[in-house]
Amino acid sequence: MALSVHATVGERIWYYAFRIIIGLIFTYLLFPLLAIIPLSFNSGEFLHYPIQHLSLRWYRDFFMSGHWGVPIQNSLIVGFSAMVLATVLGTLTAVGINRADFPGKQLLVALLISPMMIPLVITALALYLFYARIGLNDTYIGIILAHAILGVPFVLITVSATLQGFDYNLVRAGASLGASPMRVFFKVVMPNIAPGIVSGALFAFAISLDEVVVVLFIAGPAHRTLPRQMFSGIREYLTPTFLAAATVLIVVAAMLMVTLEMLRKRREKLNRPIENAAAE
Amino acid sequence: MVEQAASGTNLRKKLQRTVRRKKIEAVGLTTPLFCVMLIFYFVPIGLMFYRSIDNSQMREILPATAKAIQQWDGEGLPGEPAYAAMVADMKHAYPNRTLARAGRRLNFDLVGFYSLLLKSGRKVSRLGGPPYKAALIKLDKKWGDPRYWKVLKRGLKNTTLIYLLAALDFRYNDNNRIVGVPDNQAIYRSIIARTIYISLSVTLLCLVIGFPIAYYMATATPRTRNILMILLLLVFWTSLLVRTLSWIVVLQKKGVVNSLLLSSGLVSHPLNLVFNRIGVYIAMTHVLLPFMVLPLYSVMRGIPPHYVRAARSLGATSIVAFIRVYIPQTKAGIGAGSLIVFIQALGYYITPALVGGPKDQMLSYFVAFFVNERVNWSMASALGVMLLVLTGSFYLIFGRRVGITNIKLG
């Protein structure tokens, strides 16, 4: 895309104009996030510039006051449990789906992926009505199950993607050397598809950490999660503590993203020799 | 020869057995998740559908009337047995407080029924003996109005369509015919239209903004591409609530955008950028943009540069080559990105609820409204059914065409 020496005036103008447009779009993408981070270090109680003094006051409020402690704890409990459940069920299913063709497989996959496409409010309402009958509203287990179901499609997709690059001859090799199927799975398959599993798990955790619609319906006051607390706070009273919370979540997102990118690179590296071999 | 044939069939049998075992294993491994999802996802959604037409609790509240009213042909007023049954049911249901629930349900069909039932329930124990027909009509002359009895007869069936009809601005008239509600009461059709309109606008905005950056990333040097991809993914991974909150802070009256605009002299008064439609568009486009860029980018990365070069060498200007040769090759990405953005937008609740005004709320908001504020689960379910049907039909119509199942994530 470099500008050629023979470019006409029009092409030159377009070359720079296009870069300005791209710059503006990325400003639009990043600007709101970058704008609130400095404000969270403001000592004043206002949510706008200029910054009076730098202070960690709002971070202290976020981490130390009991107001936020319970939601943070709830989010972590729900997030980890939902992640484990989604990852175990999703990985088993992905392995099963990639093992053999069976009647109705396409339909099954479509059904298992559907929580990704069905509006959250539908999931929330359906679970609320169902939980009202069996007494699971206002319980951890209810929220964990809901979040696990929302996270499963992502585990399925990432693990399936790694399994497609997995060389099944390795399984045969393991079996021919006398390992039991379980041993082959844990010693041969697992290490090879681990990057996919970890990616899927992180996806599932991130989904739970960000989910608020379902929690709004099925969680009681004792099970407020961090996003739920933020949602009601934004509606009722916005304080700089919310900006501190937002900044912490941006940092968490950045860490998740970096980890996932590293895993993706590793996955690509793992898959490459096989693809090359197949091409030859 | 014989031996060879025998070992051949043996081998085939063995192979068949292995294939069958693999199939069984595959099914076995998928069963746990499927069972969990069946119980905790598909059954609940089925229940929601059922809930939108379920009317069985009415027969439980007014059992005698439900039986007696079947004998009535629906013309004029029912006979003494129906009145007697109603008195008996009210005597029982009023102290149980279930009569109020029946009243709310019938009021949904005919305004005035709630007060009629509560008033009658309060006084019914003071009524003398039969005949009850005259006594009830004396108590409230509405009992002598055939309209109320028609609504009651309709309201004592096991299922009802009134919620689904109401979700499309229809109702039953006095002759049991389905008619549209008066214009000043019609709201849901315009809400559905608004939901589609906002989603389409956001999709279009995402396409217009997403196309250039996907194109730039697909054609940039690996270094630039990596940096931009990381920035895009950082935004993608940032919590939806955080992004919505950021926009509220940035777009408010004293926010950064307004102070920049004021100090640059472009405007003399701060603009209303949030808690209205503009805010909804700005924030929703921001949230959904990565879903447009990622599929577009992955399609564009696979487009070989030769075709455009060929077009240029044959004398096409760069604009013509871009529009007639390059853009058609990005169709798959445009289709997939637009469908994902559109379908997600249809179901959006949080962002419009936080950055929109009362006139910018979409279907999801009203589902939540009927659950949390009105405690009318049937109406919430009916609106939920509408939203699901809307989403599902768009998905079925366009999903196969754009091959949405091929989209990779992360």
The secondary structure of residue B38, as a DSSP letter, is I
For the record, the structure tokens of B114 come out as: 């709630």
Residue at token pair 């030859």? A280
Is the Cβ of B223 closer than 8 Å to some Cβ of chain A? no
Positive/negative CA dihedral, B240, B246, B247, B249: positive
pLDDT in the model for residue B409: 40
pLDDT in the model for residue B200: 97
Is the Cβ of B35 closer than 8 Å to some Cβ of chain A? no
For the record, the structure tokens of A205 come out as: 């955790």
CA distances from A186 to A13, A61, A164, A183 (A): 59, 45, 18, 5
Residue at token pair 């399994």? A163
Q: Look at residue A37 and tell me whether its pLDDT is greater than 50.
A: yes
CA nearest to A21, candidates B168, B130, B208, B304:
B208
pLDDT in the model for residue B123: 84
pLDDT in the model for residue A272: 59
Of the candidates A145, A242, A264, the beta carbon closest to that of B40 is on A145
B30–A96: do the CB atoms touch at under 8 Å? yes
Q: How confident is the model at residue B379 (pLDDT cuts 50, 70, 90)?
A: very high
A122–B40: do the CB atoms touch at under 8 Å? no
pLDDT in the model for residue B2: 55
Of the candidates B26, B343, B395, the beta carbon closest to that of A99 is on B26
Residues in chain B with CB shorter than 8 Å from the CB of A199 are 410
What is the pLDDT averaged over residues A72-93?
A: 95
The model's pLDDT over B101-135, given as tens digits with 9 standing for 90+, comes to 888 889 888 888 898 888 888 888 887 777 888 88
Which B residues, 161 through 220, put their C-beta within 8 Å of a C-beta on chain A?
Answer: 209, 212-213, 216, 219-220
B364–A121: do the CB atoms touch at under 8 Å? yes
The model's pLDDT over A143-188, given as tens digits with 9 standing for 90+, comes to 999 999 999 999 999 999 888 888 888 888 998 998 888 888 888 8
Q: Look at residue A253 and tell me whether its pLDDT is greater than 80.
A: yes
Q: Look at residue A275 and tell me whether its pLDDT is greater than 50.
A: no
Of the candidates A11, A95, A230, the beta carbon closest to that of B245 is on A230
Domains of chain A are 68-279 (1.10.3720.10)
Q: What is the ipTM of this complex?
A: 0.88
More confident residue, B343 or A48: B343
Chosen for mutation from B19, B40, B228 (greatest number of chain A CBs closer than 10 Å) is: B40
More confident residue, A169 or B281: B281
Is the Cβ of A72 closer than 8 Å to some Cβ of chain B? no
Dihedral Cα B368, B371, B377, B381, nearest 10 deg: 10
Contact B195, B346 (CB under 8 A): yes
CA–CA min distance B245, chain A (Å): 7
B349–A125: do the CB atoms touch at under 8 Å? no
CA nearest to B390, candidates B328, B348, B336:
B348
Dihedral Cα A19, A21, A26, A31, nearest 10 deg: 120
User: Of A226-240, B122-136, B277-291, where does mean pLDDT reach its minimum?
Assistant: B122-136
The model's pLDDT over B241-251, given as tens digits with 9 standing for 90+, comes to 999 999 999 99
pLDDT in the model for residue B6: 64
What is the pLDDT averaged over residues A226-255?
A: 89
Q: What Rg, from alpha-carbon coordinates, does chain B have?
A: 31
More confident residue, A80 or B406: A80
Residues in chain A with CB shorter than 8 Å from the CB of B237 are 206, 253-254, 256-257
For the record, the structure tokens of B314 come out as: 């044959």
Q: How confident is the model at residue B4 (pLDDT cuts 50, 70, 90)?
A: low
* pLDDT, chain B, mean: 88
* Residue of chain B minimizing CA distance to A2: B220
Beta strand ranges found along A89-240 (DSSP E): none
Is the Cβ of A16 closer than 8 Å to some Cβ of chain B? no
B405–A121: do the CB atoms touch at under 8 Å? no
CA–CA min distance A5, chain B (Å): 16
Using a pLDDT cut of 70, give the percent of chain B over it.
Answer: 96
pLDDT in the model for residue B1: 52
CA nearest to B270, candidates B248, B247, B251:
B251
* Residue of chain A minimizing CA distance to B405: A110
Positive/negative CA dihedral, B292, B295, B298, B304: negative
Contact A182, A93 (CB under 8 A): no
pLDDT in the model for residue A279: 42
* Residue of chain A minimizing CA distance to B44: A126
Is the Cβ of B21 closer than 8 Å to some Cβ of chain A? no
Q: Look at residue B410 and tell me whether its pLDDT is greater than 50.
A: no
Chosen for mutation from B23, B241, B296 (greatest number of chain A CBs closer than 10 Å) is: B241
Of the candidates B26, B343, B388, the beta carbon closest to that of A96 is on B26
Q: Look at residue A215 and tell me whether its pLDDT is greater than 90.
A: yes
Q: How confident is the model at residue A21 (pLDDT cuts 50, 70, 90)?
A: very high
Is the Cβ of B72 closer than 8 Å to some Cβ of chain A? no
pLDDT in the model for residue B26: 87
Contact B78, B149 (CB under 8 A): yes
CA nearest to A218, candidates B368, B150, B105:
B368
Q: How confident is the model at residue A278 (pLDDT cuts 50, 70, 90)?
A: very low
More confident residue, A269 or B15: B15
Q: Which helix (H) or strand (E) holds B180?
A: strand B178-180
For the record, the structure tokens of A178 come out as: 């006398």
More confident residue, A274 or A85: A85
Residues in chain B with CB shorter than 8 Å from the CB of A210 are 239-241
CB atoms within 10 A of CB B158: 11
B25–A93: do the CB atoms touch at under 8 Å? no
Q: Look at residue B365 and tell me whether its pLDDT is greater than 70.
A: yes
Contact B67, B107 (CB under 8 A): no
The model's pLDDT over B186-204, given as tens digits with 9 standing for 90+, comes to 889 999 999 999 999 999 9
